[in-house]
Structure 1
Amino acid sequence: MFFLMRCFHHPNKDLDRDEHRSAHRAWVQSGGEGRAVVLIGSGLLDQAGNAIGNFGILQTRTLQDAKAFAEGDPFNAVGIVATIEITPLPDSFQADRISDPMTARH
């Protein structure tokens, strides 16, 4: 199953993001210790170009795995994340068009 994950951050967390970015990236590369394959992801910006969160396209077995991946992210664990949204993507989602996933496929 494929999901769009959007994590919105508390305001004024730039220094915290910088401090924990390497742990966040390691989490993504590990697929949250195997919970998910992260096909693509990046930061989210507001209209002024300020960082407001991050997003990812996830492949998981269940919605619960997608939630566990998002909730286990170090950005969430240290209080950077204010809210998490997980949206199922349709069966017609063309994941094969993403040629270089951020996590090794299982």
Structure 2
Amino acid sequence: MKELVMIIRPEKLEDIKKILDEIKCGGMTISTVMGCGTQKGIVTSEKAVNEIRGFKTTINLLPKICVEVVVEDKDVEPIIMKVREVCATDHVGDGKTFIRNIEEVVRIRTGERGSKAL
């Protein structure tokens, strides 16, 4: 089993949900997050300088959505390919997918383990 952590543009969430539904993903966790990557959060030629409690600060974090799912190994590559098709705009800030190994999963309610718990 693998955990996919996808950091995406907020407007792409519904597309991701459709992809995961088509693959019959058992569930997902969605979080609203803020972050920056290569572009350092800069979306225009000017940085936004704000004053927060008397301190000047540069706001360089952009809103993103974090989608976390645990899937069977066989589903990882199809999900990655479909997410790339749907989410790639060829502009900086499209996001990233992180892939982690999952040793075990246990459903709390029933005690089921492994694939049955997904």
Q: Quick one: which amino acid aligns to residue 82 of structure 1?
A: G
The structure 1 residue matched to 2:88, chosen from 79, 82, 97, is 79
Which of the pair is proportionally richer in helix? 1
1:4-56 Cα deviation digits (max 9, x unpaired): 211223xxx44xx1xx443332222222xx5xx24222134138995323222
Alignment correspondent of 2:14: 22
Aligned alpha-carbon RMSD (Å): 3.6
Instruction: Say if 1:39 and 1:98, in contact at 8 Å, map to a contact too.
Output: no
Kindly provide the CA deviation profile for residues 41-79 of structure 1, in whole angstroms up to 9, marking residues without a partner as x: 21341389953232222221x2x5313213312x75242
Residue 53 of structure 1 is matched in structure 2 by 65
Cα distance in structure 2, aligned partners of 1:40 and 1:78:
18
Instruction: Indicate whether 1:67 and 2:77 are aligned.
Output: yes
Give the number of aligned pairs.
84
Residues 59 and 45 of structure 1: is their aligned pair in 2 closer, same or farther, counting only changes over 3 Å? same
| Structure 2: runs of 5 or more not aligned | 36-58, 111-116
Once the two structures are aligned, what percentage of the paired residues are identical?
4
Determine which structure has more spread, i.e. the larger CA radius of gyration. Answer: 2
Which aligned segments of 4 or more residues in structure 1 are displaced greater than 4 angstroms?
A: 47-50
Amino acid aligned to 1:72: K
Q: Is structure 2 residue 32 aligned with structure 1 residue 40? A: no
Q: Which runs of 5+ in 1 are unaligned?
A: 100-104
| C-alpha contact (below 8 Å) 1:43/1:51 kept by paired residues | no
Tell me which residue corresponds to 1:7.
6
